[in-house]
Structure 1
Amino acid sequence: MRRFATGLLLAMAALFLVARVMAPAHPGWGYVQAFAEAAMVGGLADWFAVTALFRHPLALPIPHTAIIPRNKDRIGTTLANFLRDNFLIPAVVARRMARVDVAGAMGHFLANPPERGRLWRGASRLAADMLESLDQDRLGGMVKGALAKRLRDLDIAPMLGQALRAALAEGRHAPLLDSAIRWASATLASNEPLMRQMIHDRAGKLMRWTGLDETLANKIIDGLHRLLVDMIDQPDHPLRLRAEEGLERLADDLQNDPEMRARVFALKAELLDNPAIEHWWMGVWEQMRRGMLRLVRDPGDALAGQFGEALRQLGDTLQRDPSLKRTINRFARRTAVGAAADYGDGIVRLVSDTVKGWDADTITRRLENAVGRDLQYIRINGTLVGGMVGLAIHLVDRLL
């Protein structure tokens, strides 16, 4: 574009010379000469103006030229202030973020993940490198310690009581109670010989001699079997109701009895201090770590499995659930506004200091590359518009 603008200026100079030579041959050449003469003036004036922005024209130290190199610090400050006043004000950020559907974009990305795209591969490599670079024993100990501290400080008795009361209210305890009764029935059946022997040993000689001990054992065992069967078949069986009353008392004690809560708290502390629990936790952590490594090393397989299906379901939910979308978009908006409020001045200083740190040649070259093409259009337009103005002036002069 610079060569084109310069060539057009030279063409006007050549046209001016031709018109000046040919002027005596015909009056029309006067119009051509006026057009070319004014075009040269307009082209030269705009060349001077454009060049003066970035350097001294013809390397002459003319005042008010090389404007950008001389004022680069002020340009940096002005650019930083422009960013702050138009982009980094919390109110402006909030207004712009209100039109951004972050949840919808996240949902679309999760529901339609790019197969082994650059983002997935980069994130996978980063996660794998982080997991492998960390000290696993130390990391596992840190995670275990943090979890153990949270569990030690947690009073779980009221939560257990609330969960038990909710289960009783919704009837979810019934299958568990039935299982306990069936277990008792199976235990009784498998230990019949032991019970018969106990009754035989404790019976008197007369009962053993008459065989009444065996009859007594049969009656006791049969009665217990019938009792357990009736408890399963009859939801309103007295013993079953007594068991449910006991569970209700336990739920109330877990929530309100200081002694029961202290016993549960002590039991929890004893379990956490047990070396077997610590060994079990380290094994769980190692399995988790290996699973995470397999996941991040081959994200394609992970996305094809249950984890990928869960991500796709999450993406669908983010796109379809208006309440969840509003919540996430509100969080994103508040996060962006908070970042603008907390770090806006830092971003402004970064821009200003960066521009101020550039040397004059760097900022001149970068700005000229960014807007130079449009500036050359100014030279072209100046040449053509100047020629038209000169032609109009010549025409008016001839008419008057």
Structure 2
Amino acid sequence: MKPFRLRSDAAAPPPALVRMRWIAGGLLVVMAATFLAARAFEPRVPALGFVRAFAEAAMVGGLADWFAVTALFRHPLGLPIPHTAIIPRNKDRIGTTLAAFLRDNFLIPRVVARRMQGLDVAGAVGRWLSEPGARDGRLVRGAGKLAVHMLEAFDQQRLGGMVKGAIGNRLRELDVSPLLGQALTAAIAEQRHLPLLDGIIRWAARVLEANEHLIRAMVHERAGSIMRWTGLDETLANKIIEGLHKMLSEMGEDSDHPLRAKAEEGLETLAHDLIHDPAMQARVEGIKAEIIANPAMQRWLDGLWEQARGGMLKMARNPDGVMGGPVGDMLRQLGETLQKDAALRATINRFVRRTAVGMAADYGDGIVRLVSETVRSWDAETITRRLENAVGRDLQYIRINGTLVGGLVGLAIHAVDVVLR
């Protein structure tokens, strides 16, 4: 695999690191100059022996630490000294070790479950949503810009087709017959079907009133010539219409009407068949398939995706306005509910925990391979500069400390030597 070279400008040393290098190197130069000056004047001023000992040991300590720090990232002075340029030589092993560290400490399901046991994700989200001051406007606007770029960058026709296909596949996989049966059974048990029956009766009354002329025409066509000549067909039609109106009126007023009982019995039978009768379930599935395949349904799905995409773009382009409008009020209410409802928080936290554990189980090995292969593909020189830029400033403090501590040790040794003479 060809090494992946990071941008060179991104690997340039930051000013703080350059400044610390100059300070550490300058301190070493100062110690060298001090050593030379003290050594030159020591015969005249014996007390300068302490200064010379401090500077001499400081140079040794500073040079030793310079060698150790430099050896991490490159060969000191360009010399191929064994066990130097540690990071470039062990880049692949570092990637493997890092991947193993991620797997053993973050991506094993039981580890993920243990680490997330005490996390109150729902509570944190609730506080963020309910407290306007906790929501960083820059974070919201940055996330909005990212969402806009992503929505506009995707192939909309392809993405819309994927969304529509996903919804269609989900509808095809959904076994609606038992769901309808269970919903109808629950509605009957809780008497929630009564408004439906009342609505059907009122609808039937309106239909009858609007189609009285059809009933009169049917009776007239089927009546004999004598009934038409005597006008009995009109009387019969009126009686039929009056009887139907009276029956519907009684059904609407009397909750114990026999026909209402028959209707309720029919609903109970329908609910039972929806749950247990394969023939009924097959009929419902056939109707569902026809509805999904209908061009009007496909156009509705297309419109649904476009409306959803337009809404998401509007929200992403103006997140502050959205947060200040009805959506913001809804989110604030959701945040307050999450903070007050302990049972809801526990349910959401449990769902998040199970989701994280499931993702670790399903994708943990893939993430580990990705990290290992990515580090292996990095260009050694550039990634070495990246690491040095990230931690090099602290490493320069090691050089400074080594210089000063070495000088103090040398001063102490010289003092002991003077005392023992």
Contact 2:53–2:414 (CA<8 Å) still a contact in 1?
no
SS in 2 for 1:68: coil
Report 1:184-195 matches (<5 A). 184-192=204-212
Corresponding position of 1:353: 376
Q: Distance in 1 between matches of 2:180 and 2:350?
A: 31
The answer as to 2:352 corresponding to 1:329 is yes
* 1:42 equivalent in structure 2: 58
TM norm structure 2: 0.70
Say whether 1:389 aligns with 2:409: yes
Distance 1:15 1:182 in 2: 108
**Taking structure 1 as reference, are residues 34 and 141 closer, same or farther at Cα in structure 2, changes over 3 Å only?**
closer
Residues 260-298 of structure 1, C-alpha deviations (whole Å, 9 max, x = no match):
4555455555x449xxx6221132023113213322332
Q: Do the aligned partners of residues 312 and 328 (structure 1) sit closer, same or farther apart at CA in structure 2, a change above 3 Å counting?
A: farther
Where do 1:218-229 residues align within 5 Å?
A: 221-229=241-249
Identify if the C-alpha distance between structure 1 residues 49 and 102 changes in structure 2 by more than 3 Å, giving closer, same or farther.
same
Counterpart secondary structure, 2:47: helix
CA contact (8 A) 1:157 1:264 kept: yes
Inter-CA distance 6–250: structure 2 relative to 1 (3 Å threshold): closer
Partner of 1:179: 199
Per-residue displacement from partner, 1:373-395 (whole Å, max 9, x unpaired)? Answer: 44443443344334433443443
Tell me the CA shift for residue 235 of structure 1.
0.7
Percent identity reads 39
1:3 matched to 2:27? The reply is: no
1:105-120 equivalence runs, <5 A: 105-107=124-126, 117-120=141-144
Report the counterpart of residue 308 of structure 2 in structure 1.
292
Question: Which residue is 2:361 aligned to?
Answer: 338
What aligned pairs does 1:10-159 form with structure 2 within 5 A after superposition? 10-16=29-35, 18-19=37-38, 23=42, 29-51=45-67, 53-54=70-71, 61=79, 64=82, 67-69=83-85, 72-74=88-90, 76-78=92-94, 80-81=96-97, 84-85=100-101, 88-89=104-105, 90=108, 92-107=111-126, 117-130=141-154, 132-134=156-158, 142=165, 146=169, 149-150=172-173, 154=175, 156-159=176-179
Of the three residues 222, 237, 246, the one matched with 2:257 is 237
Kindly tell me the number of residue pairs found equivalent between the two proteins: 382
Root-mean-square deviation over aligned CA pairs = 4.3
Distance between the aligned counterparts of 1:222 and 1:69, measured in 2? 103
Q: Decide whether the 8 Å contact of 1:69 with 1:364 is kept in 2.
A: no
Residue 316 and residue 88 in structure 1: after superposition, are their counterparts in 2 closer, same or farther (change >3 A)? farther
**AA of the residue aligned to 2:304:** M
Unpaired segments ≥5 residues, structure 1? none
Query: 8 Å contact 1:12–1:36 — kept in the other structure?
Result: no
Partner of 2:14: none
Letter in 1 for 2:55: A
* Cα contact 1:106–1:315 (8 A) shared by 2: yes
Which entry has the higher C-alpha Rg, 1 or 2?
Answer: 1
Structure 1 pair 80–190 and aligned structure 2 pair: CA distance change class (3 A): closer
Task: Judge conservation of contact 1:38–1:390 (CA < 8 Å) in 2.
Answer: yes
